[in-house]
Amino acid sequence: MQRAVEQRGIPTVSISVALDVTRHVKPPRAVFVPFMMGHHFGVPFHTELQRHIIREALNLVVEARESGEVRSLAVTWAQARRQGAANERAARGETGAEITGA
């Protein structure tokens, strides 16, 4: 699918949570995040992380020089979940909680 779009002259980037599949499919550009399936953009209500992943993907569109680059983001699932939970506590106004960025 990604290759079909790219071949129409439209640059593409995908978000991967499956390095094995990405290696088989060989998309033109991909950003890998070590997150569970169904959570490619992170965790609920962690808007900064969701934005970070999209920005990094778009950066790769601008910066990639060779087809097939897979860029891994320096994030972990545990960290994303901790930050997401902290953000939700802060949004509920619980004391001691503060908003955490990506």
Partner 1 sequence: MTARFDDAGRQLRPGLWETVNERYPGSMITKDDYVPLARLRRPLAESRLTFISTAGVQPAGTLPFDTVHPVGDYTFRRVPSGATPGELEIHQLKYPTHGAARDLNVIFPIERLQEFAAEGLIAALTPHFFSFIGYNMDAERLERTLAEEIADAVVADGADVALMSPA
Q: Which is nearer to partner 1, 55 or 94 (CB)?
A: 55
Place of tokens 């106004």: 93
Among 21, 94, 99, 101, binds partner 1 (CB under 8 A): 21
Binding marks (x or -) toward partner 1, 63..92, rule CB under 8 A?
-xxxxx-------xxx--x-----------
Residues contacting 42, CB < 8 A, separation 6+: 33, 35, 49, 50, 53, 75, 80, 84
Task: Measure the CA–CA gap between 88 and 78, rounded to whole angstroms.
Answer: 15
Query: Where on the chain is the footprint of partner 1 (CB under 8 A)?
Result: 1-21, 24-29, 32, 34, 36-45, 47, 50-51, 54-55, 57-58, 61-62, 64-68, 76-78, 81
